[in-house]
Copies of this chain bind each other. A is one copy, B any other.
């Protein structure tokens, strides 16, 4: 099986949509996927609502090689991700024997209350995603990876699945060039450079340094030779305009 070359992230969480929590998991995954050379094509944040999760998941898993979800796999009523994933795939949600076993070993039979029991359920046919930080696993079903929302658990689970993404030996490389000019003065020249280097993604990110326009031109590519040439062209172009 070849590695996933494109991916999407589906964040499930009212806490992000209500502005309570600043999203952190998609940001972490975006960096790690970039470093693996896997193209992240979309991030979607949806509420803890089954229809929204089902529709968005089915759209994303059809459109990208893989989807990573974050959130909603705990023991409380607002944790509806596993139910929703099962519904999206049209499979049953089943109590997983292995999860039941390890959780029972940890908490004892009397400790297996309804909440913990809820966490033993995964969509039928799913593979478990285990990590160091918790005994309650995530789940993989076809091209969908269902991870926790709590950031330290998300990160640990993500690390365990990353080898299936991109190609670590050919990652994206990024380089940034500082700019002390208004964007409009180099926009046309930069477009010509972008046209010449199709393998390099070039973006311009302006800001203000005191009351003067400044910013960065950001270049990234898997092709190191093309990247170096594009960087040289940008630097020469800026020097030319600046003087």
Contacts and interface: CB of A to CB of B under 8 A. Distances in A.
Nearest to A78: B203
A119 interface: yes
Interface residues of A, number: 65
B44 A187 contact: no
B44 A18 contact: no
B183 A115 contact: yes
A15 B184 contact: no
A187 B33 contact: no
Given A19-B32, A23-B27, A218-B15, A77 B187 contact: yes
16 contacts: A14-B201, A17-B40, A17-B41, A18-B30, A18-B34, A18-B172, A19-B32, A20-B218, A23-B23, A23-B26, A42-B47, A48-B203, A77-B190, A77-B202, A118-B187, A150-B206
Interface of A: 14-23, 26-35, 40-48, 52, 56, 74-78, 113-116, 118-119, 150, 152, 172, 174, 183-188, 190-191, 194, 201-208, 218, 220
